[in-house]
Structures are given as C-alpha cells and as structure tokens.
Amino acid sequence: MNRFRFALLLFAAASVCPVLGQNKGKLFIIGGGERSLDMVQRMVQESGLDKGGYAVVLPMSSGEPDSAVIYTKKQFTALGMHNIYGVFCTKAQANDPAKVDSIAGAKLIYISGGDQSRFMDAVAGSEVEKAIHKAYKNGAMVGGTSAGAAVMSAIMITGNSRKNPEYSSTFNTIEADNIETRPGLGMLKKAIVDQHFVKRSRHNRLISAVIDYPAMKGIGIDESTAILVKGKDAEVVGVSQVLVYSNAKRSKKYGKSGKLGVKGLRLDIYLPGDHFKVE
C-alpha cells in the first residue's frame, strides 16, 4: 500500500470513528417555567425515546418529589410516552444497585426543579452520579429544569448570597466574595448555568460568577426556554432568550470598596433557533 492510499484510509477512519472518550449523549437544559408540549416532544425525539427504551425522572431537588414525578410524567404521557419512571434516592440510597442500574440504562434522564443543593446533597460522589455520566457517555439525553438546569454546571450557583443571607431572586450588587457556588454534576465543564434568567433579572449574580471564574461562560436561560447541547454546540429551543456572558479577554477582576470590576466582558443574546458554542 503506498503512502497516499494509507493517508486516505487514516483520514476516512478519523472521520467516521468517534473521538476516544467523547460523550455520545445530549443535554436539554430548561430555564424553568412552563414547559410546552413542543419542548417535551423535542426531548422525546432527540433522545430517541419514541423509538424505545425508557426515561427516569430524578426528583431529588424537589420538596415534593412525588408531585414532581407525577407532573413530569403527565406531560410525556400526553405525547403517548408511558415508559417514564420516577427514581428517588436519599444520600444513603445513592449507591443502591437497583437505582444505579435503572439510571445507567435510561435513554432519557430528567432532573426536576426545586433546590439544586438538595439534589447534590443526595448524589454527590455517589454511584448514582456516576450512572448519570455513564448513561450520557453512552448516548442518553440528560435534561432538567430550573434547579435541574443549575446542576448541569461543574461550578454550580447555589442561589445563595454570602453577604445577604435573606433569599432574593436576584442580587442587588456585583460584589467580591458574595456569590456562593459548589460542585455540580459537571455535564458542562466550561459554563455556569443560571435559570429563570430574564424573568427574574438574574444578571448581577451571573456576572459575579463570570468575574469570579473568568474561564467560564455564563449561560442565563429564561423561562419556557432551553438549550439543546450536542457536543460543543447549543441550540436555543422554546419561546424566549438565552443570554451568554463571556470574559473574552480573560481579564482579571479588580475591586474598589468591595465592588467588582472587569474589562472585556461580552454579552450575546440568542433567540429560538440560534446556535452558539458552549465551550
């Protein structure tokens, strides 16, 4: 075989073989609010659930997990999907082999809204967390809404303000050492997700996060809106907008009187049907 033909064969193999270790799955990250049947249908189609297999709903974020499962199943049932099962676990149950196997074998894994810290308290470092990543790597879709969107980040916004402990839907200032974060699931390695974004005007807290973590993009997803992530590409799905903050120049933060400053911060606003890079 001459060198030219050998090079062509290598090129052809590289074009059809997946990159070693590359995830085959997709993410469907919803910013909270009402989910239209069109959005649920998109999840069904993109996950291949309409072709077979089953979905699991993980309601550990919710203070009312049974209700979260019932409501989620109702929307899928309206589209003829009856293969939807709730899998709830406490921290003590997060290594249960039956629950782990159910999650690892699912075609769609859906994480409910509620409190993202409550979810991570239950699954962090567990076999359930590993099963979510295993399913995603093997081609499953991992979706979630509100708190289920926040957990997608490696660096997760908890929603708490260190300097103003009383809960508010947004931050009043952009200050140093104010935003509280903790490790999330890490489905997105280079982006921090915030939810209910335009509706609740959460700009200040996401800007604070991007200043604190300049290598990360900040993705603010509005209600009734989602991003469908395939590899490094994200498509906006739904009815509203997705705002993406990025520290284009990776400028270092600076401060004065406790207030944060940064130069070179970029904002892009995307509409349904638009695409952008998550990494």
Residue 7 pLDDT exceeds 70: no
Going through the chain in order, the beta strands assigned E by DSSP cover 26-30, 55-58, 84-86, 108-111, 141-145, 155-161, 179-183, 191-194, 217-221, 225-230, 233-238, 242-247, 254-256, 259-261, 265-270, 275-277
The total number of structural domains in the chain stands at 1
Strand partners, 227: 29, 236
What is the CATH number for 68? 3.40.50.880
Is 13 inside a domain boundary? no
How would residue 14 be classed by pLDDT, with cut points 50, 70 and 90? very low
Position 174 in a domain: yes
Q: Look at residue 127 and tell me if it is in a domain.
A: yes
Residue 16 in domain: no
Distance CA 77, CA 94 (A): 27
Establish if 1 belongs to a structural domain.
no
Q: Which residue has the tokens 């590409």?
A: 233
Q: Please, what is the average pLDDT of the chain?
A: 90
Tokens (6 digits) for 183:
């490790």
pLDDT reading at 80 higher than 50: yes
**Would 11 be classed as within a structural domain?**
no
Owning domain of residue 169: 22-277
> In whole angstroms, how far apart are CA 278 and each of 3, 85, 219, 232, 243?
38, 30, 9, 5, 12
Rounded distance, CA 269 to CA 267, Å?
A: 7
User: What is the average pLDDT across 70-92?
Assistant: 97
The half-sphere exposure of 199 on its side-chain side, counting CA atoms within 13 A, is 15
Does the residue 106 lie in any domain? yes
pTM for the full model?
Answer: 0.90
* Candidate from 18-22, 74-78, 106-110, 190-194 with smallest mean pLDDT: 18-22
pLDDT, average across residues 126-155: 98
Whether residue 190 lies inside any domain: the answer is yes
